[in-house]
Amino acid sequence: MSLPDPPAPIVHPAEYAFGDQVASAEEHLVGQVDQLLRTRFGKPVEAHLAAPTATDFAALRRWYGERAKGWQPLPDVEGAAKAGRGQGFGFSHGDQAFVMVWLTRDAAEGANPVTILRYGKAG
């Protein structure tokens, strides 16, 4: 059992086009969340995505909540993401976890980097 990739307009970009400063901030964000979960779930598989600045992440969180029947929310992810200067949410199911984190950027910058972390053998 796993949760799907997010719907459009969130996409897998052909290349990482956010630059070194954003990449460093995203790495810090992912590290904060991974530090929280790695001892419980192991090493994650990461997917790097891009979301338009107008993306409604609250609606995306609800979209995942509807698909996460039988999964448990991971409320600590939100705090870890905030400590990493971003936002995020996650769900777990047995030895699996699904986490989405993102950096919120200025609308003039065009897109937000989004990372999905999938933990566990079928995550």
Q: What stretch of H or E contains 8?
A: none
- Rounded average pLDDT over 48-60: 92
Closest by CA position to 118, among listed 61, 69, 48, 45: 45
75-108 per-position pLDDT tens digit: 999 999 999 889 999 999 999 999 999 997 765 6
- Per mean pLDDT, which range of 11-20, 43-52, 71-80 is the poorest? 11-20
- Rounded average pLDDT over 39-58: 93
Mean pLDDT of the chain: 91
Residue ranges of the domains in the chain?
20-119
Q: Which residues contact 98 (CB under 8 A, 6 or more apart)?
A: 2, 3, 64, 68, 71, 90, 91, 92, 116, 117, 118, 119, 123
Most confident option among 17-26, 28-37, 102-111? 28-37
Q: What is the pTM for the complete model shown?
A: 0.92
Most confident option among 14-18, 61-65, 105-109? 61-65
- Rounded average pLDDT over 19-41: 94
